[in-house]
Amino acid sequence: MSELLVVIQIAGRRCALSAHDVKSVIELGAVTPVPRTPDFIAGIAALRSQTLTVIDCRRALGLPAAEGPTDDRAAVVASGGHAYALMVDAIEDITTAAGEPGQVPGGFGPEWSRIATGMIETMTGPALLIDLAALIAGPDGQRGEIEAAA
Amino acid sequence: MDDLLAEFIAETREMLEASGGEIVAWEADPTDRARIDTIFRFVHTVKGNCGFFDFPRLAKLSHAAEDALADCRAGRREADAALVTAVLAIIDRIAAMVDAIEAGEEFPEGGDEALVAALDVSRETLPEDEPGQVKAGSNPPLHAPADTLLEQTGDSIAPARRAEAAAAQRTIRLPVELLDRVMSGVSDMVLARNDLAHRLRQAGNQPTIDGPFERLTAILTDVRDAITRMRMQRIETLFGVLPRLVRDLSAELGKQVMVDCDGGDVELDREMIETIRDPLTHLIRNAIDHGIEPPSARLAQGKREIGLLAIAARQSGNTIAIVISDDGRGLDEEKIAAKAIATGLITAAERAHMSRDKLLNLIFEPGFSTAETVSNVSGRGVGLDVVRQNLERVGGSIKVTSQPGRGTQFALQIPLTLSIIAGLTVETGGQRFAIPQSYVEEIVQASPAALEFTRMGEAALVTFRGNRIPCLMLAEVLALGEEADAARELTLVLLRLASGDLFALVVDRIHSHGDLVVKPLAPAVMKSGLYAGSTLLDDGQPVLLLDVTSIAAQHDLVSDGRARVLQPLEDETAATADAAPRAMLFTDCGGRRSAVRLELVQRIETTTTAALDRSGGQVRAVIDGVILPLVGLGDTPPPEGKLRLLRLGDGACELLHAVREVEDAVELTGALVAVPEDPLVEALTLVEGQPVALIDAHALFARHGAAPEPLGKRPRCVLPESEWARSILAPLVKAAGYEIVAEADPEAREAVTIMSEDTFEAAEALGRVPAGPVIRLRDHPEERRGAKSIYRYDREALIAALAAARTAGDPRP
């Protein structure tokens, strides 16, 4: 499998997104905050005539917000018919997958396991392959689903 | 009515074009059932539509063709070439007649009978030779047989006229998806333009670029307007036919019903209007048939004889809410329950635990109908289940609430795939939000004391126009912190929900309003229940659109059952207050577009600059012999000649407002934005997208208002006894605001006297100089011996003297 991957950094960890999901990488301009929404939603931003929902990936993992400066670029992804901009530590490179995603003994830790499909070997080293829908659902996403099912 | 007619013409023509291919195919094989069906449907529809209009000839023709085709369909008759020819001739005639109707011309009399007879002839004798009239050997073209018949009836000009009329109004149908693409393309272009504008501003003035850029801006605005209009249609087009429908239905059922439509300016997709047409009609039929009682029953219950049916539309982000309420007998809970149990929808045990609301909504279940006798009007086997199905198919929903004996409300929610709404942009906590204009009833800016702003526990109330209105602080709703400063002026946006409830939203500032393209939000954001969508402002900044209904519901401000019909008596007075204020639109002398409330405008007057007087900084003018203060002239002296004036009155005082041009009376539907900087301007508003300053009448009258001087108080003038004075001098003096009195009149003592130089000298010599001011006239242009006299044809000097004399003799300060 030689799927193209976009390598990003979230909270200092190397992660990978399927290049198929990433529509573009933009310079993130002004972000309009959205009051009374979960804190992983940093706000909304405009991309041409489109509205992007800006996701703070650290917070979407349930981690504290970044203290240092993050990349001023954001990856634009589409999920469920809506466009999102992912605020990450850094957008590193585009690379090719060198194998299937797999698990590691002991897991990635609860926060990471929730949003990861598995570890994937790439041409530039191993990375955590991100499950986009789970990331966008936010830290309370799963709990919400359980509540909805109950 | 014109709209209906245009629709009829467009529909008929569309069907004609669509059936063109069918006709060709039918001609090739007259026994083809599918073709016969298509053409039968066409003539049937034409016949049906003709019923609405007074087109007896069209009705007769289509009826004849329909009969013949119905016979074929029923197998009573064989379709053959002769029948095809006859029917085609009729279809062509219908097309020609529709063209004539559109052009507003009289269609030439006669010929119809021959066409109708051709149908019968072909039936009775089956004349095999008739197609032979077509030129032998030619492959018979589509309209050849029909034309032959037309020629026989002496009407060969019809096709020519048809071509002409078709050129007048050409339409094409486009897939909506294509329009969407064009639309988002234009939106992107606007944003690119704004970005460019920003960069140009930074780069400084560049005349060579600025000109073309301005042009680009203007073109873009035009294009955007046009695109916007392409998809949208006012719901008015749907509401327009309702009064007639209600009238006919209530007459048929022996009831008296008044219909009240509100929110007709809500725009939605043309497609969506078509989708809700039938459900809406059905609900109205239902309300009149089953809901509203006969007049006698109403009177017995202490209700007004006339039932009220209210239909209100509101837009909220991507949904439109339509509420249809009647003040009839309401839904019978027990009857519905019994019926539902009888039809097996629910069990008796389930019934015991069902809330009234849930039970009532069973009426939308398939196979449910409570009417004991199926009436001609609403019981045609199409139940409310079909209404719900139709709405759900487009992603809408319907709910019913009802109070026994008091009325029923059907609330429809219809989505808009893509919507452009008029929105108001407000600011709170340093952030901007948009509110759909359709909810905005009024914008109020006043001190908390004036609004009697009170905190009752967690809730807040304001008093406005004598009503206590629940009040929400947007900053609190959105948890933006920032405690409101108690002393600061409050900016309130009064919002009216589709259910009729009114509440106030406190914001920090009102920004602007304009058309907003609403984009959907991600589910995680929608979950908060506060936002209906997002939109981009002209500077490219995204702004959240507030979901007013949902916010109100979260704060328990929506009372399901409390629709407007429940207060019919209060409503009557409220209705007049609710109507959009009307104003007279004009361009003032400074070129600014302004408006003044229409109630104040008494008349539009035209006067000449001669009737103006500037004394003591206050300009006055004389209209109909009354001196009134004149405002609005500005600093520049008016050009000589005619002057247009608005005569304003508050009942007691009158004043004049000079205008450059009177435009029109308009409805002030836009929001009124207060302008505290200009004391003479009540508010800024938008009329057809242009800013208009609404004159603050109160400030105007407080500053300049004067009770009109009654006729008797006009300054008087005594004229010399001569034909010249009576016929030439008198009109001028009158125009200057004087009343002519005779010398013997006792009132003449204080009057200005105009006399010739010679007479004055004589009077002086005799010691009988009049007490009042005197204007001396001389017969020659040259002044004599330095005497203070005016040449009798020196108009300016004369008017000036009259004006001066009036100021001197003015009894008022």
CATH number at residue B739: 3.40.50.2300
- Residue B167 predicted with pLDDT over 60: no
| Shortest distance, CA B480 to any CA of chain A (angstroms) | 7
The residues in B 429-488 lying below 8 A from A, measured between CB atoms, are 429, 431, 478-480
Q: How far apart are CA A103 and CA A109, in angstroms?
A: 12
Contacts by residues B740-745 (CB-CB < 8 Å, ≥ 24 positions apart) = B740/B716, B741/B716, B741/B717, B742/B718, B743/B718, B745/B716, B745/B718
DSSP B794: -
Q: What's the pLDDT at B393?
A: 62
- In terms of domains, do B139 and B61 share one? yes
Q: Which of B126, B141, B168 is the last residue of a domain?
A: B168
- Tell me which chain A residues have a C-beta less than 8 angstroms from the C-beta of B530: 35-36
Nearest CB partner across the interface for B478, out of A36, A53, A138: A36
Nearest C-alpha neighbor of B561 from the set B329, B382, B370, B400: B400
- In terms of domains, do B47 and B162 share one? yes
| Shortest distance, CA B46 to any CA of chain A (angstroms) | 44
- Tell me which chain A residues have a C-beta less than 8 angstroms from the C-beta of B535: 51
Q: Decide if A51 touches B, using CB distance below 8 A.
A: yes
Q: Nearest chain B residue to A54 by CA: give it.
A: B522
Query: Between chains, do B528 and A34 touch, taking CB under 8 Å as contact?
Result: yes
Q: Cβ atoms within 10 A of the Cβ of B678, count? A: 12
pLDDT tens sequence across B420-431: 667 889 998 888
Q: What's the pLDDT at B150?
A: 43
Nearest CB partner across the interface for A36, out of B479, B542, B543: B479
DSSP B164: H
Q: How far apart are CA B638 and CA B201, in angstroms?
A: 38
pLDDT tens sequence across B493-504: 998 876 677 889
Q: Do B266 and B234 contact (CB within 8 A), yes or no? A: yes
Of B671 and B363, which is predicted with more confidence?
B363
Q: What's the pLDDT at B373?
A: 43
Mean pLDDT calculated for residue range B604-609: 74
pLDDT tens sequence across A109-144: 888 888 888 888 888 888 999 988 888 888 775 444
Q: Residue B81 is part of which domain span?
A: 2-168
Q: Nearest chain A residue to B187 by CA: give it.
A: A49
Distance of alpha carbon A57 from the chain centroid = 5
Of B696 and B396, which is predicted with more confidence?
B696
CATH number at residue B92: 1.20.120.160
Q: What's the pLDDT at A6?
A: 92
Q: Which of A28, A41, A49 to mutate to test the interface with B (most CBs of B within 10 A)?
A: A49
Query: Between chains, do A49 and B479 touch, taking CB under 8 Å as contact?
Result: no
- In terms of domains, do B12 and B161 share one? yes
Q: Nearest chain B residue to A135 by CA: give it.
A: B524
Q: What's the pLDDT at B189?
A: 83
CATH number at residue B647: 2.40.50.180
- In terms of domains, do B584 and B562 share one? no
Q: Decide if B516 touches A, using CB distance below 8 A.
A: no
Q: Do B514 and B457 contact (CB within 8 A), yes or no? A: no
Mean pLDDT calculated for residue range A9-16: 88
Query: Between chains, do A33 and B431 touch, taking CB under 8 Å as contact?
Result: yes
pLDDT tens sequence across B718-768: 877 777 787 778 877 877 777 777 777 666 667 788 888 777 777 777 777
- In terms of domains, do B254 and B289 share one? yes
Nearest CB partner across the interface for A53, out of B480, B525, B543: B525
Any idea which of B167-171, B402-406, B730-734 has the lowest mean pLDDT?
A: B167-171
- In terms of domains, do B225 and B241 share one? no
- In terms of domains, do B391 and B277 share one? yes
- In terms of domains, do B614 and B471 share one? no
Of A30 and B379, which is predicted with more confidence?
A30
Q: Do B267 and B314 contact (CB within 8 A), yes or no? A: no
- In terms of domains, do B306 and B367 share one? yes
- In terms of domains, do B589 and B722 share one? no
- In terms of domains, do B240 and B276 share one? yes
Contacts of A129 (CB under 8 A, 6+ apart): A5, A15, A16, A17, A18, A101, A116, A117, A118, A119, A120
CATH number at residue A83: 2.40.50.180
N-to-C CA span, chain A: 39
- Residue B674 predicted with pLDDT over 70: yes
- Residue B121 predicted with pLDDT over 80: no
Q: What's the pLDDT at B529?
A: 80
Q: Decide if B543 touches A, using CB distance below 8 A.
A: yes
Strand order in the sheet with B739-741: B739-741, B716-718, B752-756, B774-778, B790-791
Beta B490-496 vs B502-507: how paired, if at all?
Answer: antiparallel
DSSP-based three-state secondary structure for B687 = strand
- Tell me which chain A residues have a C-beta less than 8 angstroms from the C-beta of B540: 46
| Shortest distance, CA B675 to any CA of chain A (angstroms) | 28
DSSP B74: T
Total number of domains in chain B:
6
Total number of domains in chain A:
1
Nearest C-alpha neighbor of B308 from the set B277, B322, B287: B287
Q: Which of B653, B674, B704 is the last residue of a domain?
A: B704
Q: Decide if B85 touches A, using CB distance below 8 A.
A: no
> Chain-wide mean pLDDT for chain B?
74
pLDDT tens sequence across A83-117: 899 988 888 888 888 888 888 888 888 888 888 88
The residues in A 75-94 lying below 8 A from B, measured between CB atoms, are 80, 82, 84
Q: Which of B144, B168, B192 is the last residue of a domain?
A: B168
Query: Between chains, do B525 and A37 touch, taking CB under 8 Å as contact?
Result: yes
Q: Residue A66 is part of which domain span?
A: 4-149
Query: Between chains, do A53 and B522 touch, taking CB under 8 Å as contact?
Result: yes
pLDDT tens sequence across B432-455: 999 887 788 888 888 888 888 888
- Residue B533 predicted with pLDDT over 50: yes
Q: Which of A44, A53, A56, A76 to mutate to test the interface with B (most CBs of B within 10 A)?
A: A44
The angle that helices B112-124 and B56-73 make with each other, rounded to 10 degrees, is 10
Q: What's the pLDDT at B378?
A: 45
- In terms of domains, do B380 and B427 share one? no
Q: How far apart are CA A51 and CA A85, in angstroms?
A: 10
